[in-house]
Amino acid sequence: MQVKLYASLRQAAGVKMMDVDFKIGITIRDVLVEVTQRYPVLVKFVWKNQGELSELAHVFINGENIRHLAGLDTLINAEDHVDIFPPLVGG
């Protein structure tokens, strides 16, 4: 399964995308734990407290925000695409 990072997250980690091994029953929480274990610099962007998603993180599965799905308990399929965005700012 492919995970893509955007903007400042991409710069912080030094990678655009990564592959995460798919396992039956894997959730987006599991994916985010693996991503932040590989790239600890992303912990402050992704996690608010132990196991709680930061308001700064915008995580999408196939274009849908996980906050509108089952949150961190959303199950992942092998063909899913995960996108992680930093906070969006504009003027």
Q: What is the pLDDT of residues 62-84, one digit of tens each?
A: 999 999 999 999 999 999 999 99
CATH architecture designation of domain 2-85: Roll (3.10)
**Strands 47-49 and 58-61, how do they pair?**
unpaired
Closest CA to 80 of 2, 11, 27: 2
- Residue-wise pLDDT tens digits, 6-42: 999 999 999 999 999 999 999 999 999 999 999 999 9
Amino acid at 49: N
Strands (E), the chain: 2-5, 17-19, 47-49, 52-53, 58-61, 64-65, 81-85
